[in-house]
Amino acid sequence: MSEFEAYRSLFVAESRENHENLVRNMLILEKGGSQEAIDEIFRSIHTLKGASASMGFMEMERLCHTMEDVFQMIRSGSAVITADLNNLLLACSDIIELMLDDVEGGGDSSSVNPDEQVNALKQWISKGAGKVKVESPKSGVIPAVVPDTIAEIIDETDRPRYIIKLKVADDCVMKDIRAMLAIGNLESLGTILSIHPSREDIDEGRFDGSLVLKIASDVGDDALKSAATGTDIASVEITPAQKDEPVTPLKVSEEIIPAESDKKQQAASQDKTREIKNLRVDITQLDHIMNLVEDLVINRGRLKQIAEQNKIKELDEAISTVDRSVSDLQNLMMNIRMIPLNHIFNRLPRVVRDVAQYDGKEVEFVIEGGETELDRSVMDGLNDPLLHLIRNSVNHGIESPEVREKAGKPRKGFVKLSAHRDRDNVIIELIDDGGGINVEKVKSKAVEKGLVTPENATTMTTEQAIEILFLPGFSTADKISDISGRGVGLDVVRRSIESLKGSIRVETTPGKGSRFELLLPPTMAIVDVMIVRINRRRLAIPISSIVEVADYKTGSTHRIGKSDAILLRDEVLEIFMLDDMMGRSEDRDILIVVQYLKRKCCIAVDLVEGKQEVVVKPLSSIIGNTRGISGITILGDGEVVPVLDVNTMV
Amino acid sequence: MGKILIVDDTLFMRTLIKNILFTGGHTIAGEAGDGEEAIAKYQELKPDLVTMDVVMPKMNGIEALKGIKAIDPNAKIIMCTAVGQEQMVKLAIKSGAKGYIVKPFQAPKVLEEVKNVLAS
């Protein structure tokens, strides 16, 4: 085992790919499938089997082997796949995933017991095998009748004849093939006149390890002997024969001492220099390096400030060099931490399939843009909310086939998950063509739960009603279902997304479907911000959400409802004073126009200090998530400054 | 000691074989991930020996073997196989494969087979 320790992570990584490929193709197969899908499944299973055997993970090997047997039958057309079998195979693939988890954690897959699945598969094989003829003979099976002499090919030449007795080593795997190779080698040197067991027997696996043949050849016995000798050949006995001497089959009792194979030959040349091109690094180490880079960024800001204050030219130059290195280092670290979304997307088809089957729905699920990359820390937090949204779409969004037919829609619902990069953000879209959100139902439920008053409910716009979905303790499903319920509502989804400094939006058209849009920063740690001052206190606004900076003249504002607004180039924009956060100030001269998705608003500030790259640290769990603030940052002079979260503010 | 082309669709298996061969003092001419690539690499690298996986995407090991044999009838090819694939291997032997190794690979066995096939 220990000699394979070095391959463990590679094994896990590739096996996970194979496992994903297996599940993906099983789902294709379930939809009708193709020979190609069966071939792919077979290949994945086969690879999993081979790799787990190589690593000594015998429980996993056992399960994969049995699954391979099943697919061998399906592939050869001697059995067909049924819904029950498909479910069983998917259950097996779940077991494989558990085993991979075990292996990843340092185990050897034996903590997961596949007995139930293996037995079920074997049962299926034996049932299926009733209809099919199974080739049973394997190496080691001796033909029942051993003839005394063997028919001989007539060779009229005067070449010398030899009888060669050949024994394949007992521990050889596939003895029959070893025999075929030896026969092939001998045949290139002369004419084989007779052979026992016959070629047909060997070809069909009826071979116990001993072979006798008569050959006419003029290359000499040494050459024949070396041609017959090879890997796993325990002994070769060669004797000159008379022209008409018959071949007598070797008796099984005949004793032949197997040759000792030289096992030590490789120990000598152990020390070879090898070039290593890839390294696997523990993620905690990577996080640690990231923290150090963040510290560097903070201290770089501090150094810059010192240099500016003291006007030291040499220090300035040195800092600008350090500056470049730190920026490069930072970019490099960002890239290292990026992972394609497929990492989590690939598991989702299975989720959709399970939910749809559970609910008796038919769903076509499409994934696009899985190659879009996200920082690992964002990815970690995205899995659960995404899973929840997908379940929601199938469970609440897509209608049952009957309802869909009545509504004039195709029986099969459509769910699409796509991702793309949009400037500094990654946008993940989940679209379904289901019934959409029933706004009236949402309203009445909200009233029932005491979340809004009946009066408010009647005057509520669709947008406001959708907002209710995100309130804690709200769920439109009549009872908590096994699938999408679990007491977790969209409020948790929103909170998770917001804790990633992202945001979620919903659009819905009754009868046509819904669209969930997640907007995420590709990375959480380091952002470009504009430092502004209000009431002499500083505030950081992410550059990515700023659209413009404009002059602000008091008096040009208009009172609209509860808030102030300004007319800026034919656009009416709400003004935020942030008095409650920063305190009142009379010197507001500048407007920072910020945008989130398509909504714009502006913040009135006293002064713009400049642009800076900062490390955003999350607020501690004691404070929790505060709307409007995504975290804090420490500037070069040591001041702690809040970072504005435009998404939750707008 | 020979120059060897490793054909297998998984990096895991290729690495395993590669390390065994390295330890045995052989040179790795290159690696291929499927049958088509194997034929192309064979033409390009002209290795002394090929280790060929049987089950691979695009083009399987048997087809690749035939393809290589068509280019070079003297090509020395060892099939990488597993228990249960006897029929496939027999087909490969009939098509001109010179040897086989069985997964899970044991380093001494692999090296012995490589040595024998190189010497043949």
Domain stops at, among A339, A362, A385:
A339
Same domain? A347 vs A220: no
Same domain? A593 vs A645: yes
Answer yes or no: do B23 and A43 touch at CB < 8 A: no
Residue A510 has pLDDT above 50, yes or no: yes
pLDDT of residue A152: 66
CB atoms under 10 Å from CB of B1, counted, come to 13
Partner-chain residue, chosen from A47, A69, A176, that has the shortest CB–CB distance to B9 = A47
3-state secondary structure of A278: coil
B10, B58, B101, best to mutate vs chain A, most A CBs in 10 Å: B10
Backbone angles phi, psi at B42, to 5 degrees: -65, -45
CATH number for the domain spanning A247: value is: 3.30.70.1110
Within a domain: A148 = no
- What is the tens place of the pLDDT at every residue in A27-60? 888 887 778 888 888 888 988 988 888 888 888 9
Backbone angles phi, psi at A44, to 5 degrees: -60, -50
Q: CA angle, corner B70, sides to B68 and B74, nearest 5?
A: 75
Same domain? A206 vs A322: no
Within a domain: A453 = no
* Residue-number span of the structural domain to which A380 is assigned: 341-438+476-520
Instruction: List C-alpha distances in Å: A269 to A265, A275, B19, B22, B26.
Output: 8, 17, 12, 9, 10
Partner-chain residue, chosen from A14, A50, A266, that has the shortest CB–CB distance to B103 = A50
Domains observed in chain B: 3-107 (3.40.50.2300)
Partner-chain residue, chosen from A10, A46, A176, that has the shortest CB–CB distance to B11 = A10
pLDDT of residue A143: 40
Residue A519 has pLDDT above 60, yes or no: yes
Query: Taking Cα atoms as reference points, which of A422, A396, A641, A649 lies closest to residue A517?
Result: A422
CB atoms under 10 Å from CB of A429, counted, come to 16
Same domain? A543 vs A426: no
3-state secondary structure of A40: helix
Same domain? A419 vs A498: yes
Say whether A46 is catalytic. yes
Burial A484-497 (b: 16+ CB within 10 A, else e): beeebbbebbbbbb
Residue A469's pLDDT band (cuts 50, 70, 90)? confident
Say whether A396 is catalytic. no
Do the bridges between strand A373-375 and strand A338-340 make them parallel or antiparallel, or are there none, so unpaired? antiparallel
Within a domain: A278 = no
Answer yes or no: do A274 and B83 touch at CB < 8 A: no
Same domain? A513 vs A565: no
Same domain? A334 vs A347: no
Answer yes or no: do B108 and A266 touch at CB < 8 A: yes
CB atoms under 10 Å from CB of A6, counted, come to 11
Q: CA angle, corner B74, sides to B68 and B80, nearest 5?
A: 55
Report the C-alpha gap between A195 and A570 in whole angstroms.
98
pLDDT of residue A525: 62
CATH number for the domain spanning A547: value is: 2.40.50.180
- What is the tens place of the pLDDT at every residue in A71-120? 888 887 777 778 888 888 888 998 899 899 888 888 888 888 888 888 88
Residue B6 has pLDDT above 90, yes or no: yes
Instruction: Indicate the number of domains in chain A.
Output: 5
CATH number for the domain spanning A328: value is: 1.10.287
Same domain? A115 vs A171: no
Indicate the burial class of B12 (C-beta count within 10 angstroms; 0-12, 13-18, 19 or more).
buried
Same domain? A413 vs A428: yes
Lowest mean pLDDT among A472-476, B39-43, B76-80: A472-476
Query: Taking Cα atoms as reference points, which of A164, A163, A166 lies closest to residue A235?
Result: A166
Domain stops at, among A291, A323, A339:
A339
A16, A174, A264, best to mutate vs chain B, most B CBs in 10 Å: A174
CB pairs under 8 A between A and B: 103
Average pLDDT along chain A: 79
Tell me: ipTM over 0.90: no
Within a domain: A146 = no
Residues in chain B with CB shorter than 8 Å from the CB of A269 are 23-25
Sheet holding A210-216, edge to edge: A191-196, A210-216, A161-168, A233-241
Do the bridges between strand A503-509 and strand A425-432 make them parallel or antiparallel, or are there none, so unpaired? unpaired
Question: Is there a contact between A553 and A561 (Cβ–Cβ < 8 Å)?
Answer: no
pTM of the model: 0.48
Same domain? A312 vs A373: no
Lowest mean pLDDT among A19-23, A425-429, A637-641: A637-641
Report the C-alpha gap between A63 and A85 in whole angstroms.
15
Cis omega (within 30 of 0) on the bond before A401? Answer: no
- What is the DSSP-derived secondary structure letter of residue A397? I
Cα distance from B76 to chain A (closest Cα, Å)?
13
In Å, the largest CA–CA distance within chain B is 33
Within a domain: A260 = no
Within a domain: A466 = no
Q: Is A56 left (phi over 0), alpha (psi -120 to 50) or beta?
A: left
Q: Specify the residue for token string 């099984």.
A: A252
Residue A1 has pLDDT above 60, yes or no: no
Indicate the burial class of A228 (C-beta count within 10 angstroms; 0-12, 13-18, 19 or more).
buried
Query: What's CA A357's distance to the chain center, in Å?
Result: 23
Instruction: List C-alpha distances in Å: A374 to A282, A419, A645, B23.
Output: 18, 11, 20, 40
Report the C-alpha gap between A630 and A647 in whole angstroms.
9
3-state secondary structure of A482: coil
CATH number for the domain spanning A99: value is: 1.20.120.160
Answer yes or no: do B82 and A50 touch at CB < 8 A: yes
Burial B45-71 (b: 16+ CB within 10 A, else e): bebbbbbbbbbbbebbbbbbbbbbeee
Backbone angles phi, psi at A449, to 5 degrees: -85, 0
Within a domain: A144 = no
Answer yes or no: do A266 and B90 touch at CB < 8 A: no
Sheet holding A537-542, edge to edge: A607-615, A526-534, A537-542, A640-644, A629-634
Report the C-alpha gap between B68 and B39 in whole angstroms.
6
Query: Taking Cα atoms as reference points, which of A190, A185, A192 lies closest to residue A219?
Result: A190
Answer yes or no: do B104 and A270 touch at CB < 8 A: no
Report the C-alpha gap between A440 and A437 in whole angstroms.
9
Question: Is there a contact between A412 and A373 (Cβ–Cβ < 8 Å)?
Answer: no
Residues A415-426, mean pLDDT to the nearest whole number: 85
pLDDT of residue A173: 82
A625-634: long-range contacts, CB 8 A cutoff, minimum separation 24:
A625/A495, A625/A498, A625/A499, A628/A581, A630/A501, A630/A542, A631/A501, A633/A529, A633/A540, A634/A298
Say whether A68 is catalytic. yes
Same domain? A123 vs A84: yes
Within a domain: A463 = no
pLDDT of residue A597: 65
CB atoms under 10 Å from CB of A449, counted, come to 13
Return the CA Rg of chain B: 12
Residues in chain B with CB shorter than 8 Å from the CB of A7 are 12, 15-16
Same domain? A497 vs A414: yes
Domain stops at, among A251, A275, A297:
A251
